[in-house]
Amino acid sequence: MRAPRGPVLLLLAALAWWAAPARSEVAVGPGQPIPDLVFEKLLAPGDYAKLGLDRTEGPVALSEIPGQVLVLEFFNKNCVPCQRQVRHLESLYRKLQEEGLDGRVKILAVGAGNKFKYLPKYRKRRKMTYPVTADPTFDQWRRVGDPGRTPFTVHLVRVDGVWIWAGHTFGVVEADELERQTRALLDAPDPTAVAAGAAPMKVPELRLPVPQETVERMVQALFTRVLGEPVDAVRHALPGGTVVYQAVREGERLLLYAKVASRRAICEVCDPVHFVFAFSADGRLQGFVPIHVTKYGNKEWTPEDVRFFEERLKGREFRDFSFDPTVDAVTRATMSSAIIFDEVRRTADLLDELPGR
């Protein structure tokens, strides 16, 4: 990064630290109540009856689902391990039906980052008969702690009318093991004790794969490319702890900003996503550069991938940043593309806190 001058240098020195990524809204532990997740709707009218609900449409909250045990699985339709997990969860669902346990045990699968309109085809192809919903903007995913990989299967047990976190698994879990975990809760004399003894959830730590100095050089290079002239960059810590950069020309602070973002992956076998994006004060994306963004097989995006993606984002307004995988995703990088879109969209919440507006 070109050496800044005067007050810019002093402010950079005063803020010579890297803010940790923003924490998820809720972190859930063993034996604790899960947040009352709310979903816009279920995938098909028949799913409501399968969950024990006496209607065929409308939003669904976890708290209104009856039963003794709830198996809640987060998946993404583009995640290969999630595709393999379907047959095991389907096997459990059919066994519960055969044994008349489907009244006591409910299953709900949640497509994290998937839009409803793309799930019916997936469901038909995978022969899924258990209830399905979607969390297209990752809101409920973040409320359970942004776990970082799918398939993510959570066992909940009802205690005094409240769903309690009683265990979880990452990755593909075979039907026999899913059944064992489920029966252990059904048969436990004290399910509260079983839940309290479950293993805590370990969320993967997010660390930038390059030094801070490299990131700052990338920010300055992005500003220079967007503006077409060399500029400096100054860092600001916003009230909530998020760090943004601001472009500076000859000591004059410009209304051009950048954010360095890190997000955990969705799929179990995918890498985290790290990138930089520049934006104007009115919340329009002006430029994008990856730090570490991958596609299928964890291969880095090519320069052609980056150019395509930046063109899809450039000039779009944050508050209307809807992701359409059919036209917005880099080929074989749908999940990474969706995560980036989601992070940019959420940055709209910070616009009123930007310095110099």
Answer yes or no: is 130 within a domain: yes
pLDDT for the residue numbered 10: 30
Weakest mean pLDDT among 36-45, 295-304, 317-326: 317-326
Burial of 269 (0-12, 13-18, 19+ CB in 10 A): middle
pLDDT for the residue numbered 45: 98
Q: Which one, of 138, 134, 168, 172, lies nearest residue 153 by Cα?
A: 168
Residue 204 is given by DSSP the state P
The encoded tokens of residue 5 equal 């001058």
Query: Are 163 and 257 contained in the same domain?
Result: no
Other beta carbons less than 10 A from residue 200's beta carbon = 11
Query: Are 255 and 279 contained in the same domain?
Result: yes
> Is residue 9 scored above 50 in pLDDT?
no
Answer yes or no: is 33 within a domain: no
Distance CA 8, CA 129 (A): 60
Other beta carbons less than 10 A from residue 121's beta carbon = 10
Q: Which one, of 327, 340, 336, lies nearest residue 294 by Cα?
A: 336
The single residue listed with the structure tokens 């500029």 is: 231
Query: Are 182 and 236 contained in the same domain?
Result: no
Residue 47 is part of a domain; what is its CATH number?
3.40.30.10
pLDDT more than 70, % of the chain: 92
Weakest mean pLDDT among 12-21, 122-131, 163-172, 339-348: 12-21
pLDDT for the residue numbered 4: 40
Answer yes or no: is 304 within a domain: yes
pLDDT for the residue numbered 357: 75
Look up the domain containing 217 and give its range: 6-21+206-353
Query: Are 165 and 236 contained in the same domain?
Result: no
Query: Are 101 and 224 contained in the same domain?
Result: no
How many structural domains is the chain composed of?
2
Distance CA 74, CA 108 (A): 9
